[in-house]
Chain A
Amino acid sequence: ISFLLRSTTDNKADSTVVSNVVTHADPIASKGFAVDSSTSPFKLFEFERRVPKADDVFIRIHYCGICHSDIHQAKNEWHNSRYPMIPGHEITGVVEQVGSSVKKFRVGDNVGIGCMVDSCLSCNSCKKDLEQHCPDTCYSYNSTELDKVTPTYGGYSNFITVKEHFVCKIPKNLPLDAAAPLLCAGITTYSPLRQYNVGKNTRLGVIGLGGLGHMAVKFGVAMGAHVTVISTSESKRDDATKLGAKSFLVSKDEEQLKSVKDSFDFILDSVSAPHDVAGMISLLKFNGVYCIVGAPPKPLEIPSILFITKRVIFTGSLIGGMKETQEMLDFCGKHGITCDIEKMEASPETLQVAYERTLKSDVKYRFVLDMLNSFK
């Protein structure tokens, strides 16, 4: 069954009009871009998405952000990769079919899917809306469904079927392309700021101005905090200011760092490469919080006396649960927050370039794949 979509520029807010309602009864032929080993290039991959069950939502993918985790996993840097792998967990699109018991969504809704597509929904973590900490979390790609057998394939593809619980509404005023990275970069930085009540009187330090860092700045500013960006490169100063940061420091400049010693209530560290964490801790006020959301591969070395004399709270945070992800999206809708993106059609060539540029931090600040137009 084919159908016509009114072609939209997704910069408009309206949800897409679907002229024929689709009902799939068989698995849906899908296309994606996959790697079949840690060193091979992306290739077209044909596979099937499941028929929507009673609690499933079937979505046409419009956009998918490229997250640094996609690169880590494509290259098997976490030593847990399964191939073939279709990465992508910053997905936005439009609902094309809903299962019979789906309540929250209707055909035509703008929706998003992040890093998870299922979990047990019955353990303590799931009951506390922390599905990302369920022992049986099913990730959007490089993982399996709850049956522990069916592989999951991510958003560098044209369709996806997801359980209702793991789908979020994208506020109507947010363009789907710039909203896509909210589903991972957004929630990952929003969650710790909320956990620690960052607000009007908070002096917030954001380390790293990349995909995550730039969202941390936007959220921090929207929450009323005084935001300082700490970066390795002077060239990011103007951007930091444009994003609303009140101050900017170059991390290699000892004098600049000394001037802000003991001054931050909360530091969010989104850097994925090795860096001097101990030096950053000394910038915290007593009782300050240092939260890591990046995943540098090498262990950090920190003198224990720093923790003790500053009564530091040193912690990490992992994405966010579904309830919080929806809350974050609603917050973005209310404040008109989206990500700064560079959009491109997906192809083996563009993916290679995007990956190389991401590794060099040469993007302001997220690549977003135009999946709607990638399988012509």
Chain B
Amino acid sequence: MISSRKNISTIPAKGWAAYDPVGSFSLFEFERRSLNDSDVLIRIYFCGICHTDIHEAQNDWNVAKYPMVPGHEITGIVEQVGSDVKRFQIGDPVGVGCLVDSCRTCLPCQTNLEQHCTAGATYTYNGIEMDRKIPTYGGYSNLIVVTEHFVCLIPKNLPLDGAAPLLCAGTTTYSALRRYNVIKDTHIGIIGLGGLGHIALKLAVAMGAHVTVIALSESQRNDAIRLGAKGFIVSNDQETLKKAEGTLNFIIDTVPVPHNVSALLQLLAFEGVFCMIGISSKPIEIAPLDLVMKRLTIWGSLISGMRETQEMLNFCGQNEITCDIELIEATPNMIKTAFERILKGDVKYRFVLDMKNAFK
């Protein structure tokens, strides 16, 4: 029966959830909310696996709430829109990233930095809605309801599977590059050639930068060059690191495990900026004199706001940039294997779950 009344019943959904830090994923049947006037119902086609999903599922940060449905690199198709939705219509290809809501009134929210919402933004999974009652479940599921402000349009020329990791990896690295205003011939360094590193490289090259990749293994050199890097240094190669001292203006550090930041600071020229986007479990060590003598600055950068996420997607559309992915079936076994391989750095460069064909 077609009714002009709002659909008031919740929407049944299925997801793969972790129930504890150790165990594998199993089926979780839950409810997505019925649409509010500004909500968009999205059928999830693809979801990227971010290293953060592993940190969260395994409770590395002691903030896990189970059952947890991870996933914040979501692409799919709009199936239904609330009556006030302006930017989307049924059938649009869309993406959802790390945020699904925020207070919208604080200064960061008002200045397009919703991720720094002073009331605490609502994260797409392992978070809590702004009513502080309803938990959030992420993209390892078949559908999601998100308020319009936190949904982005995927440019029509980008395949939805390759575009999925842009919603976190892409936007996090794009934001750092734009914050520094990387332009043609800016000499930058990218530490780490994984999910974040490889997309940072593609974006930086598209912006005209001269990029040096610093990575763990010589075996990554060919890929770095293929993806557009002009230089490549193995991170424990002291000699080459020394020769490259003072040659970079900006470094993005994507590495999410403990590593020697002090040594990497030497690569920066006067007034250079070292931007951290990877979150490591151990504190980093910095010698104050390094900062003082060359007026170096360390930034931390956290995903990006919604306006910039859309800007990043548009940039990727214009420059035909997507992520290098390995598409896998969305099953508990495949998720488990993917997690293990990510921890070994054994993926080029993002796993993407095929949610479209899951739960059949």
Contacts and interface: CB of A to CB of B under 8 A. Distances in A.
Interface of A: 125, 130, 133, 278, 286-287, 292-296, 299-318
Contacts of A315: 291, 295-298
24 contacts: A133-B294, A133-B295, A278-B283, A295-B289, A296-B288, A299-B262, A300-B285, A300-B286, A300-B288, A301-B283, A303-B283, A303-B284, A305-B279, A307-B276, A311-B113, A311-B116, A311-B300, A311-B302, A312-B299, A313-B299, A316-B290, A316-B293, A318-B292, A318-B295
A292 B288 contact: yes
Given A302-B284, A314-B291, A316-B293, 8 more contacts: A295-B288, A295-B289, A299-B288, A300-B287, A301-B285, A307-B298, A311-B116, A316-B290
Contact of B118 (A286, A300, A312, A316): A286
A317 B297 contact: no
Contacts of A308: 276-277, 279, 300-302
B39 to A, nearest CB: 28
Task: Please give me the 6 A-B residue pairs with the lowest Cβ-Cβ distance, nearest first.
Answer: A307-B300, A316-B291, A316-B292, A308-B300, A315-B297, A301-B283
Interface string B258-287: 000010000000100000111110011111
Contacts of A125: 270
Nearest to A278: B283
| Residue from B113, B278, B284 whose CB has the most chain A CB atoms within 10 Å | B284
A299 B290 CA distance: 10
Contacts of A278: 283
Given A133-B295, A318-B292, A309 B286 contact: no
B159 interface: no
Nearest to A318: B292
Interface majority SS (helix, strand, loop, mixed), chain B: mixed
Contacts of A306: 300
Nearest to A195: B295
A364 B13 CA distance: 69
A111 B285 CA distance: 41
B299 A307 contact: yes
A292 B292 contact: yes
B108 interface: yes
A130 B293 CA distance: 12
A306 B301 CA distance: 10
A315 B290 CA distance: 10
A237 B288 CA distance: 27
A311 B292 CA distance: 20
Given A292-B291, A295-B292, A304-B276, A314 B283 contact: no
A77 B279 CA distance: 34
Nearest to B172: A308
B263 to A, nearest CB: 12
Contacts of A310: 300
B302 A309 contact: yes
Contacts of A309: 116, 300, 302
A192 to B, nearest CB: 9
A221 B293 CA distance: 27
A279 to B, nearest CB: 12
A286 B288 contact: no
A329 B108 CA distance: 38
A311 B301 contact: yes
B55 to A, nearest CB: 11
Nearest to B294: A133
Contacts of A312: 298-300
B299 A304 contact: no
Contacts of B294: 133
A83 to B, nearest CB: 22
Contacts of A305: 279, 300
B288 A314 contact: no
A287 B284 CA distance: 20
Nearest to A306: B300
A178 to B, nearest CB: 26
Given A299-B285, A299-B286, A304 B292 contact: no
Which of B270, B293, B296, B301 has most chain A Cβ within 10 Å?
B270
A309 B303 CA distance: 10
Interface in B12-29: none
A311 B116 CA distance: 8
A241 B298 CA distance: 32
Given A292-B292, A295-B289, A311-B302, A304 B297 contact: no
A306 B298 CA distance: 11
Interface in B155-210: none
Contacts of B278: 304
Contacts of A133: 270, 294-295
